[in-house]
């Protein structure tokens, strides 16, 4: 930062006709321009990072990128490459900090490709931003078989010694997702996934019917997990078609995570709008073998996301959630 101290006229006491004075006078426009640039960078932390730590000297273009309903996304092209930037004018840095931690955890597994996060911070006028690696997408979502194998490799590599949860709470869509650590998966999933969503439906809609039935189900999940070995594995957490793509080489890319360490099968909870096919599951289970009772638990993990969609988008998703609850109550005879 240029320090503005004594008046600029002070050093020019040698007289206007002095060669030294004329040379210094010629520097005035450059000094003024530099001060102006540095001041403007201070008002724009995104530009400031890109033009300092991002190693760029010039931003050549800023282009809006569609696809999100919560944040505004842009591509920043520079003489040092491109950056992907998301901003939110209402929410502080905590949401993007959680996303950054999730991306970093997935990136560290060196399995499936994710954008590397670079910087998270507040905006001067309120809200927050995240700067990350820009990945040029290919023309399709890539191979289902490769996606299944790479996702399984991430689950295999990303383990936690702390149990089930994550180091920070995050969001699923715009709904808070509680990630307090637990040594018991059934307890964690019941309390922090189903229980939280059911209470939200009760508070938001006064839906005591779905709340009471859901509570009965939560207390009787144990039979669904008999003989199952559950390790806390790193999950993307919100894996639907909008968060899956491929790079220009055709390798799969996953985005916008809601990471936590959980049962691997919970990763398929959004499969109803992810388009996973037979090739995906075959490749996945070659790396992470299918456990007994997988089919019986599949709808349980979908229930969490149906409840979240009910809370986010309204009654159109209620019947799907209630149907799953009723089916399990009949199956478990409770």
Mean pLDDT of 124-130: 96
Q: What is the pLDDT of residues 262-316, one digit of tens each?
A: 999 999 999 999 999 999 999 999 999 999 999 999 999 999 999 999 999 999 9
pTM of the full structure: 0.87
CA dist list (Å): 186 to 166, 191, 328: 16, 8, 15
Q: Which residue of the set 44, 203, 207, 238 is catalytic?
A: 238
User: How confident is the model at residue 28, as a pLDDT?
Assistant: 57
pLDDT confidence bin for 175, thresholds 50/70/90: very high
pLDDT confidence bin for 41, thresholds 50/70/90: low
Strand-pairing partners, residue 128, are 88, 122
Token code pair at residue 264? 């691997």
Residue 32 burial (CB count, 10 A):
11
Q: Which residues contact 31 (CB under 8 A, 6 or more apart)?
A: 2, 8
Among residues 81, 85, 78, which one has the least CA distance to residue 100?
85
169 is catalytic: no
> Is the pLDDT score of 3 beyond 80?
no
């Amino acid at each position: 930062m240029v320090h503005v101290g004594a008046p600029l006229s002070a050093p020019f006491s040698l007289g206007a006709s002095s060669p030294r004075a004329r040379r210094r006078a010629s520097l005035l426009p450059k000094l003024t321009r530099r001060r102006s640039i540095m001041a403007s960078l201070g008002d724009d932390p995104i530009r400031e990072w890109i033009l300092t730590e991002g190693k760029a000297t010039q931003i050549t273009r800023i282009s809006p990128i569609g696809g999100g309903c919560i944040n505004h996304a842009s591509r920043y092209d520079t003489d040092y490459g491109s950056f992907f930037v998301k901003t939110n004018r209402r929410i502080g840095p905590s949401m993007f900090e959680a996303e950054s931690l999730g991306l970093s955890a997935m990136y560290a597994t060196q399995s499936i490709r994710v954008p590397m996060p670079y910087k998270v911070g507040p905006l001067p006028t309120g809200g927050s931003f995240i700067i990350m690696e820009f990945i040029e997408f290919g023309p399709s979502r890539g191979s289902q078989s490769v996606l299944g194998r790479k996702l399984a490799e991430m689950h295999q590599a990303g383990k936690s010694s702390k149990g089930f949860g994550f180091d920070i709470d995050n969001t699923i869509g715009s709904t808070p997702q509680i990630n307090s650590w637990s040594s018991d998966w059934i307890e964690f999933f019941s309390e922090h996934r189903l229980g939280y969503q059911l209470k939200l439906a009760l508070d938001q809609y006064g839906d005591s019917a779905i709340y009471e039935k859901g509570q009965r189900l939560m207390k009787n999940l144990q039979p669904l997990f008999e003989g199952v070995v559950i390790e806390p594995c790193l999950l993307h957490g919100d894996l639907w078609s909008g968060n899956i793509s491929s790079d220009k080489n055709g390798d799969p890319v996953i985005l916008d995570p809601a990471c936590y360490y959980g049962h691997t099968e919970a990763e398929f909870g959004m499969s109803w709008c992810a388009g996973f096919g037979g090739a995906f599951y075959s490749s996945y289970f070659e790396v992470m073998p299918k456990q007994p009772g997988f089919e019986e638990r599949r709808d349980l993990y979908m229930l969490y996301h149906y409840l979240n969609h009910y809370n986010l988008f309204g009654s159109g998703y209620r019947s799907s959630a209630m149907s799953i609850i009723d089916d399990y109550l009949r199956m478990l005879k409770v």
